[in-house]
């Protein structure tokens, strides 16, 4: 009998894989196929984000659950249902991604399950949440990082600062990047009206924390009108912000591609002149790592997560300052050198091995009694 049959690993906290928009989703899409020879992996997906009926992919099993796209409620509902199934089916490890789904960590521990939480970002810092939603996320962080057996942080600074506040064992394992696939085709970019090396590329969800609105404002004042601006990504929900973004893009000749993947995305990276990441908040941006793998010139906001990459100083601009971004854009577009980056730290094979080590540590963790869970919860 294959030993991994008895080593069930259940995963929830993401919308789904493969080809679902989001950095956390791409993280899981890259990581878990590398772990499937060690564990029998099951990933919970949200039906409202899934366009296929496949129940398995690369030796990974899926459980697709009903979900809603109501902001805030969808995560709670999906995570609760996932947790109940975990309790019923008793995997050897439950791996939760994001602090929102981490709300149910105490419940899983009360029923004797081992839990690993991957902390991708302090979501309560995002402006899209209202006061009570932020309070719930802070409480979810408390539950996740006090009750999980092990925590993985993709951001080193957050591991040192946030991880130290809680009782859970913290490990720093960064996001990774796959080897770049340079596309010889130009069919997709030409369909968008783009010319090779004559456009600026940004990649990410259309949400306020990504800063695409002030990127458009900076682009509007750009002196060199030979370059177009392309934003590859979509919004998960139709919001006032996303509607305003669409209008701003149309008014300023900015190309919004929507969510793209596969060769279309490879073409965008291959033939871009400059990659820009204007985010207010990041953990460790996978789109930034991807742009670096294509040896693109880079401009990123000077937030701690981006500074952690240790790019040359000329690659940073003042976060939220469209005028500073405008000045840096003008300067960076005049550079004709092809940069090279050391991405050895972000190799997915090494990251998979580090993750397996965390799974081994989990069985050395102290066991929790129901009483100790209730005592800790009452301290919040």
CA distance 260 to 103: 31
CB atoms within 10 A of CB 321: 16
pLDDT of residue 67: 80
pLDDT of residue 2: 63
Q: Which range of residues forms the domain containing residue 57?
A: 3-176+348-377
- With vertex at residue 145, the alpha carbon angle to CA 139 and CA 151, rounded to the nearest 5 degrees, is 145
In a domain, 355, yes or no: yes
In a domain, 342, yes or no: no
Q: Which pLDDT tens digit goes with each residue over 263-322?
A: 999 999 999 999 999 999 998 999 999 999 999 999 999 999 999 999 999 999 999 999
- Smallest Cα–Cα separation from 304: which of 199, 163, 156? 156
CA distance 270 to 262: 12
On whether both 269 and 163 belong to a single domain, the answer is no
DSSP one-letter code for 178: P
- Smallest Cα–Cα separation from 45: which of 26, 27, 67, 30? 67
The enclosing domain of 256 has a CATH number of: 3.40.50.2000
In a domain, 338, yes or no: no
pLDDT of residue 365: 59
pLDDT of residue 366: 55
On whether both 33 and 132 belong to a single domain, the answer is yes
pLDDT of residue 224: 79
On whether both 8 and 86 belong to a single domain, the answer is yes
CB atoms within 10 A of CB 314: 13
Q: Containing H/E element for 88?
A: helix 73-89
Q: Which pLDDT tens digit goes with each residue over 75-101?
A: 899 999 999 999 999 999 999 999 999
- Residues, the chain: 380
In a domain, 319, yes or no: yes
How many structural domains is the chain composed of? 2
In a domain, 339, yes or no: no
pLDDT of residue 377: 57
In a domain, 164, yes or no: yes
CA distance 262 to 279: 24
CA distance 180 to 341: 13
pLDDT of residue 1: 47
CA distance 305 to 311: 11
Low-confidence ranges of the chain (pLDDT < 70): 1-5, 69, 71-72, 365-380
On whether both 354 and 228 belong to a single domain, the answer is no
- With vertex at residue 238, the alpha carbon angle to CA 236 and CA 243, rounded to the nearest 5 degrees, is 120
On whether both 241 and 197 belong to a single domain, the answer is yes
């Amino acid at each position: 009998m294959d030993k991994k049959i008895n080593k069930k690993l259940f995963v929830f906290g993401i919308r789904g894989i493969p080809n679902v928009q989001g950095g956390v989703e791409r993280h899981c899409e890259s990581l878990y196929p590398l772990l499937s020879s060690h564990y029998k992996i099951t990933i919970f997906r949200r039906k409202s984000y899934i366009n296929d009926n496949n129940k398995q992919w690369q030796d990974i099993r899926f459980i697709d659950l009903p979900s809603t796209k109501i902001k805030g409620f969808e995560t709670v509902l999906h995570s609760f249902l996932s947790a109940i199934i975990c309790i019923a089916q008793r995997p050897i490890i439950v791996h939760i991604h994001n602090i929102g789904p981490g709300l149910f960590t105490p419940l899983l521990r009360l029923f004797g399950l081992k839990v690993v939480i991957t902390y991708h970002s302090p979501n309560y810092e995002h402006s899209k949440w209202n006061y009570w939603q932020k309070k719930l996320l802070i409480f979810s962080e408390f539950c996740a990082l006090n009750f999980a057996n092990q925590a993985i942080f993709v951001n080193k600074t957050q591991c040192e600062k946030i991880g130290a506040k809680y009782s859970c064992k913290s490990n720093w394992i960064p996001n990774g990047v796959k080897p770049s696939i340079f596309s010889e085709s130009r069919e997709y970019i030409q369909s968008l009206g783009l010319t090779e090396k004559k456009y600026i590329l940004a990649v990410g969800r259309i949400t306020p924390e990504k800063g695409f609105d002030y990127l458009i404002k900076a682009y509007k004042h750009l002196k060199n009108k030979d370059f177009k601006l392309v934003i590859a990504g979509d919004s998960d929900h139709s919001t006032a912000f996303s509607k305003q973004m669409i209008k701003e893009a149309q008014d300023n000749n900015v190309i919004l591609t929507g969510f793209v993947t596969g060769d279309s995305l490879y073409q965008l990276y291959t033939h871009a002149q400059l990659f820009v990441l204007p985010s207010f908040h990041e953990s460790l941006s996978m789109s930034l790592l991807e742009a670096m793998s294509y040896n693109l010139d880079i401009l990123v906001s000077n937030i701690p997560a981006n500074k952690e990459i240790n790019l040359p100083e000329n690659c940073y601009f003042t976060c939220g300052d469209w005028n500073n971004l405008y000045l840096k854009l003008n300067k960076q577009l005049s550079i004709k050198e092809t940069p090279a980056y050391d991405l050895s730290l972000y190799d997915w094979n090494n990251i998979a091995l580090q993750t397996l080590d965390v799974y081994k540590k989990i069985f050395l963790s102290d066991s929790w009694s129901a009483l100790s869970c209730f005592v800790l919860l009452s301290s919040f």
